[in-house]
Amino acid sequence: MTRRARVLATLGPASDAPDVMEAVAAAGADGFRLNFSHGTHEQKAAEIAGIRALEEKLGRHFPIMGDLQGPTVRLGDFQPVQVSRGSRVTLARDGGSGIPVPSDEFFRLVEVGDEVTFEGGRIAARVVERSGGTVVVEALVEGTLAPRKTVAIRGKEYDLPSPTEKDMLDLKFIVEQGLEYVALSFVRSREDVRRLREALSELGSDAWVIAKVETIPGVENVDSVAEESDAVLVARGDLGAKFPLEDMPFIQTRIVDAARARGRPVIVATQLLDSMMENPIPTRSEVVDVFTAVRDGADAVLLTGETAAGRHPVESVEWASRIVARAEEGYAPRRMAMDGGTSIYDAFALGVVELAESMGAKIVAYSRSGNTARRIARHRPSVDTYVFTPDARTARKISLIWGVIPAGILGATDLEGLANEVVRRGLAKEGDRLVLVRGVQKDTTDMLRVKVL
Ligand SMILES: Nc1ncnc2c1ncn2[C@@H]1O[C@H](COP(=O)(O)OP(=O)(O)O)[C@@H](O)[C@H]1O
Ligand SMILES: C=C(OP(=O)(O)O)C(=O)O
Ligand SMILES: [K+]
Ligand SMILES: [Mg+2]
């Protein structure tokens, strides 16, 4: 049984050298994330070229996710500052004597007594004074304040437009570079997702949209956010800075279930193997954390700092792959009832899965846009699911989805052609049973065929 949940890796200084990128891919990375909160377009163009070159070399398809910074507040540029518990630090709108927080919205919102968190809560501080364009905070834990790290105020949300001007510049680059996925940070409602989709269609892009759920309203609206998105990401870094940490397991389950009930691929991200930023092996609790994400039925786990800035990017991916493969032995994620209105296409896909499972048949599908693959995979078929696509872009898109095995690139074909292809590629042999499916569209005849080879 091939490993069915995917492992995604964030590229950054620790991993974007070509030889390290290749080692990360060989270690089991199924796709990559580029974080537009950091780095330059030049660096990212080189990373993208490196990934596309790897596809040729390894004969695989790697989806690339462009992760937009979204409406947030990040520290400006300054020399990192060590803080210890109780030490006081000044945050200033424009630097000067303090640490720069280049955001009017932050200073509009922050009040004495607020808990300010940095870098997803890795460092927290209490606001003890404020005057005009500066606030004084007292560190609650020790740590290093570093440039461009996120700044959040626990329990409060910034009222900033989404997507931001920076997002629109990054989006144009992402579309020009032909990335398969665009992730939007700090989604609050379906309207945030809708505005991104409008911007994408104006740019003429069919990239799939990933909603990063990491705000209080984003969790409250998770059902409608999932409905509006192509995929959902549980952004535990900022979630942990907004909610009490003890709520995290409940919030993760809530988001995963909402996405799965709507057949949206769901990605669990951040701090999964956090100690591997420093150490070559994970802790026991991190192994259980990755296991839990798989058992919750996630389509993918996403490594962030571990592969972007950690000391062991390759080992981090190796461990994630090992744990995912072991977690899936003898286990098929529970099937979710379909929420949010089911089209005949969804009902048809469920029928395909049940028919194939009842016969112990392999599913062999042709998916023009990737939607048929998504509709079948949402039911977590216990049989192998091979999907042919018309081009590399769609093959990359479906490579992020649980259980889908990209079988190859084909021009439009009929069901007999699909059967011939799986045999020709050695994916099926004499005696195998096949359920052959073509993308379910209104005008498609000859959509389904059962065949014994
Ligand atoms: N493209 C990049 N260039 C430079 N540093 C990066 C890049 N991507 C990530 N990093 C570093 O790795 C850290 C963790 O990565 P990630 O969790 O993706 O970032 P963040 O949580 O800040 O959005 C970042 O805070 C940053 O210090
Ligand atoms: C993935 C996340 O977003 P970012 O790392 O960009 O803050 C997160 O917050 O967990
Ligand atoms: K980001
Ligand atoms: Mg985040």
What's the pLDDT at 1? Answer: 43
Is residue 309 lining ligand 1, measured as CB closer than 6 Å? yes
**411 in a structural domain:** yes
Looking up residue 141, the CATH number of its domain turns out to be: 2.40.33.10
Residue 198 lies in a domain: yes
pLDDT at 21 over 60: yes
Which structural domain range is residue 132 located in?
81-153
123 inside domain: yes
Q: Which of 107, 136, 153 is the last residue of a domain?
A: 153
Would you say residue 335 lies in a domain? no
Which atom of ligand 1 is closest in space to residue 37's alpha carbon?
Answer: 23
339 belongs to a structural domain:
no
Helix axes 41-58, 165-176, angle to 10 degrees: 30
Q: 240: domain CATH number? A: 3.20.20.60
Looking from the CA of residue 37, the nearest atom of ligand 2 is 6
Indicate if ligand 1 lies below 6 Å from the C-beta of 313: no
**Cα 37 to middle of ligand 4, angstroms:** 10
Lining ligand 2 with CB less than 6 A are 35, 37, 67, 120, 150, 185, 212, 214, 235-238, 269-270, 304
The whole-number pLDDT of residue 413 equals: 85
For residue 169, report the distance from its CA to the centre of ligand 3, in Å: 14
Total structural domains within the chain: 3
Which of residues 295, 328, 361 is at a domain's end? 328
Q: Is the pLDDT of residue 94 over 90?
A: no
Residue 319 lies in a domain: yes
Average pLDDT over residues 13-24: 97
Q: What is the pLDDT of residues 201-226, one digit of tens each?
A: 999 999 999 999 999 999 999 999 99
Which two tokens mark 259?
């996405």
Residue whose CB lies within 8 A of the most ligand 2 atoms, among 243, 270, 307, for a mutation test: 270
> Containing H/E element for 388?
strand 385-389
308 CA → ligand 1 middle, Å: 6
Of the candidates 256, 323, 313, 325, the residue with the CA atom closest to the CA atom of residue 290: 323
Collapse the DSSP code of 173 into the 3-class scheme (helix H, G, I; strand E, B; otherwise coil) and give the result: helix
Confidence class for position 155, pLDDT limits 50, 70, 90: confident
Structure confidence at residue 50 (pLDDT): 97
User: Beta 123-131 vs 181-184: how paired, if at all?
Assistant: unpaired
Q: Do 92 and 120 fall within a single domain?
A: yes
Report the Cα 99 to chain-centroid distance in Å: 31
Same domain, yes or no: 323 and 374 = no
Q: Tell me: do 175 and 240 sit in the same domain.
A: yes
- Ligand 1 atom with the shortest distance to the CA of 150: 22
Q: What pLDDT sits at residue 241? A: 87
Q: Which residue has the tokens 């020709």?
A: 424
424-427-429-435 Cα dihedral, nearest 10 degrees: -100
Reference 299, options 403, 223, 407; nearest CA is 403
pLDDT average, residue stretch 94-117: 93
Residue 233 falls within a domain, yes or no? yes
Is residue 311 over pLDDT 90? yes
Name the residue among 355, 350, 357, 288 with its Cα closest to residue 319. 288
Is 405 in the same domain as 319?
Answer: no
Nearest CA to ligand 1 atom 3: 39
- pLDDT tens digits, 269-309: 999 999 999 999 999 999 999 999 999 999 999 999 999 99
Same domain, 120 and 143: yes
228 and 88 in a common domain: no
Residue 442 binned pLDDT confidence (cut-offs 50, 70, 90)? low
Same domain? 237 vs 322: yes
CATH number at residue 408: 3.40.1380.20
pLDDT in tens, 113-142: 999 999 888 899 999 999 878 999 999 999
Mean pLDDT value across the chain: 94
Q: Are residues 258 and 125 in the same domain?
A: no
Kindly state whether residues 241 and 290 are assigned to the same domain.
Answer: yes
Atom of ligand 1 at shortest distance to CA of 270?
17
- The answer to whether the CB of 80 is under 6 A from ligand 1 is no
H or E element, residue 167: helix 165-176
Band (pLDDT 50/70/90 cuts) for residue 111 is very high
- Beta-carbon contacts of 342 under 8 Å, excluding residues fewer than 6 positions away, are none
> Do the domain assignments include residue 20?
yes
Q: Is the CB of residue 147 below 6 angstroms from any atom belonging to ligand 1?
A: no
Residue 3 pLDDT > 90, yes or no?
A: no
Among 153, 173, 208, the domain boundary falls at 153
Q: Tell me, yes or no, whether 317 and 429 share the same domain.
A: no
What's the pLDDT at 296? 93
pLDDT at 35 exceeding the cut of 60:
yes
Q: Are residues 324 and 357 in the same domain?
A: no
Same domain membership, residue 219 and residue 147: no
Task: Tell which phi-psi region holds residue 120, choosing left (phi > 0), alpha (psi between -120 and 50) or beta.
Answer: left
Asked if pLDDT for residue 170 goes beyond 50, the answer is yes
Which has the higher per-residue pLDDT, 257 or 132?
257
Kindly give, in sequence order, each residue whose CB lies less than 8 Å from that of residue 26, ignoring residues fewer than 6 positions away: 58
pLDDT at 193 over 60: yes
